[in-house]
Structure 1
């Protein structure tokens, strides 16, 4: 009999975006850092990402986070983020979900009240503050990546749409930021399919016209994301709210407003002089879920004014499960996967 190949999972969601946390069944990956392990997965073992995001096990709207040993002594756990478009070095919603899973799994023991610990993402160390009440993880606050405006209010002609005004921010990936009302949207759930189609056309047009380079990372690939911005309302001193939604891949609108999308919005608001350090923005999704971004400071990096920020949200545990990987199933693609599955070498025949 063939040895059964299984992967242990904890499914979670933050703001509606499902993050599938891989907790077991994967062999240790080569690489001295979490970033190097991510590169190995991307270049030599992309089958894991495809397996868990494609049918019959998953759907493209989900994300996957693989728990790995950290390389930095301050970090409790490392994690690698996998999404339909590839391997982002950072994600707010995935970090919120991973931090919650780490607490629920006991990898970091829960403590009542506020507790702090550190995770290691491919982007580096991520400082976490968790709020635990009656044993329940009620909120996770994570430090967002430094964000800045690369391009402010450029214009591009988009076939079938016309002239589109957009800004570009970096917040863990490059984001095109567009005014939803200028494109005829109110950011309601019934517009989801039309928002995805519109975003696809704009992103394709921007990608065809130009590329973007990070001030330290250099070329990080073509612009992948677009964030639709609704009107901003002030609900209290230093506290603002705006409907928002994020496009990440053809046909895929995030259920949440995304942490990196919220960070990008903070960078734009600071660039326009409408917020300052200590101010907060709640972004509200098509499904009425929200994240809160807080601007915590700024610094100068060359020609860029970089915004430091925190993102707060709540993750819910959906399931603890174990999936069986049956490579004889015609719907299951095992290429690029066998060599990282625990006992995989003994089970290929």
Structure 2
């Protein structure tokens, strides 16, 4: 009989995007930072991402977040994000889900009212504010990555689409921002397949034409994201709302508007002078779910960029608590890139007694 290996999971969603949180079953990863541990997974153990995002265990539209002990003493926990496009250094929806999972599992003790704690992502430290009412995590506000506009209203000819006007923002990954109405979309759910096909063609064309470099990180790979922007409605003096849709290359339309997509939109609105520090934007998805982004401050960086400091607020829901069996004898299961990090023990990812309180 084959030796049974298992993974302990907490499935969650924020805005409709499912984040599968791995809380046990993985051995400690090498690396002195969470970023280095992410790079180890990417280069030497990508099988975990493939295992949980592909049949028979998952689907590419999901995300996976691996809880790891924090390396930075200022953080209570660390986490690594895995998606169909690879290993994003940051994600708002995944951060909201991970923070909720840590509270719901007791890995970070949950307290009534407002509590603060710090997580270590591959992008660095992330400040979390959790609002707990009657024992329920009602909202998570997380710091979005500093966002800026790299390219404003460039044009490209896209086969099968035509001439497309786009802007490029960085908000944890590079985003192409396009006007949905200019491309014939009203951002309704029945347009989902057509949105994915259109976005795929635009991203392929931009990737073939241009590469983008972050002012400190340098080359972070080919363009992975596109954000369709709907019209902006002003709800109050400092509050705006807009339908929005985020695409992840290749082929995935996100259920939520995504945190990084919302941060990218804030950067563009500030660049165009339509939003200022203290203002908020609610992005609304094809499924009528929303995240709220707030411009906290603006600063100069990299010699030429107006960088927008921002936060993202949303709510995550727990879908399931489970333990999956990894059967390497199953012909549908490829253990080649994961067997060396699967633990033959059954601990949670970190010792609860070691979890610092906020």
Q: TM-score, normalised by structure 2?
A: 0.95
Q: Distance in 2 between matches of 1:170 and 1:40?
A: 24
1-structure distance, mates of 2:246, 2:185: 13
Q: How far did 1:24 drift?
A: 0.3
Matched, 1:124 2:124: yes
Alignment of 1:189-204 (within 5 A): 189-204=189-204
**Corresponding residue of 1:347:** none
Deviation at 1:108, TM superposition (A): 1.2
Question: For residue 79 of structure 1, what is the aligned residue in structure 2?
Answer: 79
Q: Secondary structure at the match of 1:223?
A: coil
Find the residue that maps to 2:23 and give its secondary structure: strand
Describe how 1:133-282 pairs up with structure 2 within 5 A: 133-282=133-282
Task: Tell me the distance in 1 between the aligned counterparts of 2:109 and 2:247.
Answer: 35
Per-residue deviation at 1:3? 2.2
Task: Please list every run of 5 or more consecutive structure 1 residues that lacks an aligned counterpart in the other structure.
Answer: 345-349
State the 1:160 CA deviation.
1.3
Q: Per the alignment, in what secondary structure is the counterpart of residue 38 of structure 1?
A: helix
Q: SS where residue 22 of structure 2 aligns?
A: strand
| CA distance in 2: counterparts of 1:74 and 1:315, whole angstroms | 24
Question: The residue matched to 2:281 in structure 1 has which SS?
Answer: strand
Work out whether residues 85 and 250 of structure 2, in 8 Å CA contact, stay in contact via their aligned partners in 1: no
Q: Distance in 2 between matches of 1:212 and 1:2?
A: 47
How many Å separate the matches in 2 of 1:27 and 1:259?
30
RMSD: 0.7
**Deviation digits for residues 284-312 of structure 1 (CA, Å, limit 9, x no counterpart):** 00000000000000110111000000000
Does the 8 A contact of 2:203 with 2:249 survive in 1?
no
User: What is the rounded CA distance, in whole Å, between the counterparts of 1:220 and 1:251 in structure 2?
Assistant: 20
Query: Does the 8 Å contact 2:67/2:78 carry over to 1?
Result: yes
Name the counterpart of 1:300: 300
> Could you say what secondary structure the match of 2:146 adopts?
coil
- Whole-Å separation in 1 of the counterparts to 2:237 and 2:115: 27
Deviation of residue 331 (structure 1)? 0.7
Give yes or no for contact 1:118–1:125 (8 Å, CA) kept in 2: yes
Deviation >2 Å, runs of 4+: none
The alpha-carbon deviation at position 253 of structure 1 amounts to 0.1
- 2: distance between equivalents of 1:57 and 1:80? 19
1:124, 1:224 → 2: CA distance?
Answer: 20
Report the equivalent of 1:309.
310
Gaps of 5+ in 2: 346-358
Q: Deviation per CA, 1:226-248, whole angstroms, max 9, x where unpaired?
A: 00000000011100000000000
Partner of 2:35: helix, strand, or coil?
helix
- Aligned residue pairs: how many? 344
**2:140 & 2:131 partners in 1: Cα distance?**
6
Residue 114 of structure 2 corresponds to which residue in structure 1?
114
Deviation at 1:2, TM superposition (A): 2.9
1:27-57 Cα offsets, whole Å, 9 max, x none, are: 0000001000000000000000000000000
Deviates further, 88-97 or 334-343: 334-343
* Residue matched to 1:89: 89
Task: For residue 240 of structure 2, give the secondary structure of its aligned residue in structure 1.
Answer: strand
**Per-residue CA distance 1:241-297 (angstroms, 9 max, x = gap):** 000000002321000000000000000000000010000000000000000000000
Question: Structure 1-normalised TM-score?
Answer: 0.98
- Post-superposition Cα deviations, 1:130-172, rounded to whole Å, max 9, x if no partner, equal 0000000000000000000000000000011110000000000
Given the alignment of the two structures, is residue 16 of structure 1 paired with residue 16 of structure 2, yes or no?
A: yes
Deviations 1:181-221 (A, max 9, x none): 00000000000000000000000000000100000000000
1:316-331 residue pairs with structure 2 within 5 A? 316-331=317-332
* 2-structure distance, mates of 1:58, 1:114: 34
CA distance in 1, matches of 2:91, 2:9: 19
